[in-house]
Amino acid sequence: MSTATISASDVNKLRQQTGAGMMDCKKALTEANGDFEAAIDILRKKGQKIAANRQDREAKEGYVYGKVTADGKNGVVVAVCCETDFVAKNADFVKYGESILDLALQHKPASIDDLKALKLGNTTIGESLVDQMGKIGEKIDVVDYQVVSSEKVIVYNHPGNKLSSMIGFNSAPAGIDDAGKNVAMQAAAMAPVAVDKDDVDSKILEREIEIGKDQARQEGKPENMIEKIAMGKLNKFYNDYTLLNQVYIKDDKKTVRQYLESISKDLRVTAMKRVLIG
């Protein structure tokens, strides 16, 4: 088939199948002599070439998505990144990210690799990322994926869609929707590193203790007081960086723990996830 026999409807059909630009579709059909399957392969190879050439690029823009199941017991957050804000705000990019989110919520895979192995149309998500790179011309990747299952899961998507937080609770008492959103907003705004003191990573604790000791020595404190001073600073760290011990942002007379107890004395946080890009 010559170039002259490739009609606008042929180009449009390929564009609908692949999402590639009109000119890219026309070039691919011309190169493939009108063979649609061969043209699709050409477009995919173009995506692979772009992916290889852009591996060292930083994808700091993008769109963070969070969603819960209808029963409120499962939630996922997915972060799909690109290189520019222009692409991040593009309706087709947003729609693509939401399609990944819906699959994640349906299947609740255990990891990013498992997520990328899921089928999206005729290809896997991982393969579709390469296709998207061919279409858009930027590095595109799923850079974070979180899943929570609990008696009640609340997701908060911050305006601008660069930040989402997800909180799991052990029960669903009256008022949990509003309370859960408030706590999720707290997690988004205050960036706690753990739910409670016992959940803080040991490496973080060791680092904070060493920082506290160094600060005490620089202040000229007696050596026999260094350990005690460092532990005092660690308590301040807990109050600043663990969710339940933080001052509640909507009522500075309460901690988040006290706020939750005011909703239900047995209400507990079972999980916390916070996803930020940029």
Report which secondary-structure segment, H or E, holds 14.
helix 8-18
> Is there a contact between 169 and 271 (Cβ–Cβ < 8 Å)?
no
| Model pLDDT, residue 18 | 64
> DSSP label at 254?
S
| Model pLDDT, residue 1 | 39
**In the chain, beta strands by DSSP E:** 61-68, 74-82, 119-120, 123-124, 141-149, 152-157, 163-169, 269-276
> Is there a contact between 145 and 117 (Cβ–Cβ < 8 Å)?
no
Within a 10 A sphere around the Cβ of 153, how many other Cβ atoms? 28
> Is there a contact between 144 and 77 (Cβ–Cβ < 8 Å)?
yes
CA distances from 232 to 72, 216, 238 (A): 40, 11, 10
- For residues 44 and 29, give the distance between their C-alpha atoms in angstroms, rounded to a whole number: 13
Side by side, the strands of the sheet bearing 74-82 are 61-68, 74-82, 141-149
- For residues 169 and 176, give the distance between their C-alpha atoms in angstroms, rounded to a whole number: 9
Q: Look over the chain and give the mean of its residue pLDDT values, rounded to a whole number.
A: 87
Domains in the chain: ranges and CATH: 3-53 (1.10.8.10), 56-149 (3.30.479.20)
The β-bridge relationship of strands 123-124 and 119-120 is antiparallel
What pTM did the predictor assign?
0.77
Look at residue 20 and give its three-state secondary structure. coil
| Model pLDDT, residue 51 | 47
| Model pLDDT, residue 44 | 64
- For residues 77 and 145, give the distance between their C-alpha atoms in angstroms, rounded to a whole number: 6
pLDDT per residue as tens, the chain (278 positions): 344 477 777 777 777 766 666 777 788 778 887 787 777 776 666 655 444 444 555 568 999 999 999 999 999 999 999 989 999 999 999 999 999 999 999 999 999 999 999 999 888 999 899 888 878 888 889 999 999 999 999 999 999 999 999 999 999 999 999 999 999 999 999 999 999 999 999 998 888 888 888 888 888 888 888 888 888 788 888 999 999 999 999 999 999 999 999 999 999 999 999 999 97
- For residues 121 and 134, give the distance between their C-alpha atoms in angstroms, rounded to a whole number: 17
CA dihedral (247, 252, 258, 261) positive or negative: negative
First-to-final CA distance of the chain: 47
